[in-house]
Amino acid sequence: MSSDAPIHGGLHRDTLAVRAATPRSAYGENSEALYLTSGYVQPSAEASAARFAGEEDGYTYGRSGNPTVSSMELRLSALEGAEATLATSSGMSAILLMLLSLLKAGDHVVYSQSMFGSTIKLIGSEFARFGVNSTAVPQTDLDAWRAAITPNTKLLFAETPTNPLTEVCDMAALAEMAHAAGALLAVDNCFATPALQRPIEWGADIVMHSGTKYLDGQGRVMAGALCTTEQLVKEKLLPVIKNAGMVLSPFNAWVVLKGMETLDIRMRAQSERAHALAQVLEQHPAVARVLYPGLPSHPQHALAMRQMGNCGGALLSFELKADAPDQARARAFHVLNQLQTLSLCTNLGDTKTLLTHPASTSHGKLSEPQRQAAGIGQGLIRVAVGLEHLDDIRADLWRGLDTL
Ligand SMILES: *Cc1c(COP(=O)(O)O)cnc(C)c1O
């Protein structure tokens, strides 16, 4: 499980983060080339036929592959310890590709009820229209996962830690459960990233990414990916993406490729700030609770530390003390409206610290009872901690917290 173990031809993960890529072009560029082309000139009619028949490697058309996208895929495979990766146009299109490739009418999916909102809607509503059944279960209740599995279950899908409550699930236990049922385990690894957590080492079959978040890391482009076995990519995912077309643009692939070079140091620096902020927030008299996997008060602290290499990650949420939902909402809005340096922004995984109010944004469409059941109170604020100086992050938040 050691992250120091040499991989890929004896090179370490740190080295591969800056080196793994397709070969240099004839010009010898040191920074990886950006190939902006939708088509490829074929050396001969015979080669073209062989490439289209899948008998020979070689690029044909942008929907089937691009060398810059291949570089991004090779690098992410190296970081996740996966045999192969397939990049997609966004995180959601990675999930769409996975579901389209693995499921048919009558199949069943078990997923965590705490997953990303669009993931829940895609599985629970959109795929239900095509006869794919699903059951949402409490993230941390292994018995509920087990009880939900049916003879038709093909996929277990979890996210760990989750947004915005940072709930953690036991990946090894879920992998064992999935495999005993002849199903696959997929894990959304957006929050921890391969810098902290590599789900394949815990038995997951597919790792899903929104490259929009920490992989790019600077809030510039949308991207997604599925990391898994070579066989699954070749036999299931590639044939579908070639026809369905949710491919990653070469430019966005290049941005994410360069972003991954600093993923490890960014994740560690941002997590360090998040940990320190979580500790001081927990002491503030206006704060009812802080949700951060790195704090001993987190319900799955020990499991999180085991799975995430003793690091809590860069994202935390906190709940303000209040007597009623209306008051809680007013207090949260007050804190957010006092920000001068940090951003009120629906994204995460940026070098800039981003704050959101989940109850009025990502979870705004739920009824108040549904929101309460999901644990998303009106006083909850999510902080995706960036790289600003901790004193400045703290001062900007305390401006509101101290004037409630
Ligand atoms: C953002 C996000 C997604 C969706 O990714 P997009 O790139 O926005 O499509 C999925 N899962 C998690 C945990 C996310 O944070």
Q: Look at the block and give the residue holding tokens 């810098």.
A: 195
**What is the extent of the structural domain holding 208?**
2-262
Does the pLDDT at position 364 exceed 60?
yes
Decide whether any atom of ligand 1 lies within 6 Å of the 116 Cβ: yes
Mutate to test the pocket of ligand 1, among 88, 114, 118, 222 (most ligand atoms within 8 A of CB): 118
**Amino acid identity for residue 32 in this structure:** E
Are 233 and 267 in a shared domain? no
CATH of the domain at 348: 3.90.1150.10
Average pLDDT, rounded, for the chain: 95
CATH of the domain at 232: 3.40.640.10
CA dihedral (363, 154, 108, 122) positive or negative: positive
- The CA 117 to ligand 1 mean position distance, Å, reads 9
Q: How confident is the model over 246-264, as pLDDT tens digits?
A: 999 999 999 999 999 999 9
291 touches 298 (CB < 8 A): yes
Does the pLDDT at position 2 exceed 50?
no
Decide whether any atom of ligand 1 lies within 6 Å of the 188 Cβ: yes
The closest-lying atom of ligand 1 relative to the alpha carbon of residue 212 is 7
Query: Given this model, what pLDDT does residue 4 score?
Result: 58
Are 186 and 311 in a shared domain? no
Q: How confident is the model over 188-206, as pLDDT tens digits?
A: 999 999 999 999 999 999 9
Last residue of a domain, one of 214, 246, 262: 262
Q: How confident is the model over 93-121, as pLDDT tens digits?
A: 999 999 999 999 999 999 999 998 899 99
- The CA 248 to ligand 1 mean position distance, Å, reads 15
Are 110 and 179 in a shared domain? yes
Strands 153-159 and 206-210: unpaired
Determine if the pTM surpasses 0.85: yes
Question: CA 365, CA 136: separation in Å to the nearest integer?
Answer: 18
Which residue in 138, 142, 141, 174 sits closest to 156, CA to CA?
174
pLDDT band, very low/low/confident/very high, at 5 (cuts 50, 70, 90): low
Last residue of a domain, one of 262, 296, 327: 262
Q: How many domains does the chain have?
A: 2
84 touches 73 (CB < 8 A): yes
197 touches 189 (CB < 8 A): yes
Are 323 and 302 in a shared domain? yes
Decide whether any atom of ligand 1 lies within 6 Å of the 358 Cβ: no
- The CA 47 to ligand 1 mean position distance, Å, reads 39
Phi then psi for residue 206, to 5 deg, are -135, 130
Are 212 and 91 in a shared domain? yes
The closest-lying atom of ligand 1 relative to the alpha carbon of residue 93 is 9
Q: What angle do CA 103, 104, 105 make, to 5 degrees?
A: 135
Query: Given this model, what pLDDT does residue 333 score?
Result: 98
Are 320 and 347 in a shared domain? yes
Are 133 and 277 in a shared domain? no
Does the pLDDT at position 244 exceed 90?
yes
103 touches 240 (CB < 8 A): no
Query: Given this model, what pLDDT does residue 215 score?
Result: 98
Q: How confident is the model over 10-56, as pLDDT tens digits?
A: 899 999 999 999 999 999 999 999 999 999 999 999 999 999 998 99
